[in-house]
Amino acid sequence: MTSSYHTGWVLVAGAGGALGHAVATHFANAKRRVIALDRHFDDENGLINSDIVTATVDASHDVELRQTLDRMVGDGRIALLVNAIGRIWNEPCLSIKGGKFVSHSIESWRDVIEANLTVPFIVANEVAARMARKRGGVIVNFSSIASGGNAGQAAYSAAKAAIEGWTRVMAAELGPLGVRVNAIAPGFIDVKTTRAAVSETRLKDYIARTPAGRLGQVADLTGAIEFLEANSFVTGTVLRLDGGLRLS
């Protein structure tokens, strides 16, 4: 373990979402220097405060992202990237509507892959180059319990599975440059987006099937991120944070 990781910025991408908001708030409360990025911030989150530097940016545009980081970080060091960009999407490969088979929309497939794979890739690529120049840093990408395959989430599961393979590639390539790359695959964390996406009945079923006997809490998530940042012998790993639940 090492304590030197506290000496740079914590960058939370996707900080306008429930999980990203929770992570940014946690590290700010821990007296870390936090930069929160998203294309939209929900005022209900109460994220914007004096302890967190925020920037509204569309990270799908790499030039805009680069210019934003140049302005906010300059020649400073990003110690940790929490790459929490993404959105849940439910749509099966094939469904029956009005007595007819309906295939997964190609448009929504492209949108979900863009949001959950391409944009996180753009962010990590830009940050990785900055970390490499400083010869150090930690990237934590966000996968999902759905990466193993979840019926009804074709595009979302595909994107999250790709995140895991890409994370291992980044870890292998960037290790010699002092940059570690891992991913977290959360199960059902008790935040508002989970309850909006999953019915109460289904959540109760998931809890009953979870060996840990409960939903994940924000503290479980932030504790896992802190571990991945602090332990210098962990890279190329996907940490399953799902209470033991298996969807398939």
Active-site residue among 89, 109, 156, 206? Answer: 156
Strand partners, 182: 140
Question: In the annotation, is 206 catalytic?
Answer: no
Q: Which long-range contacts (CB under 8 A, 24 or more apart) does 148-151 make?
A: 148/246, 148/247, 148/248, 149/247, 149/248, 150/247, 150/248, 151/92, 151/247, 151/248
CA 170 to chain centre: 15
Rounded distance between C-alpha atoms, residue 111 and residue 132, angstroms = 30
Positions annotated as catalytic residues are 156
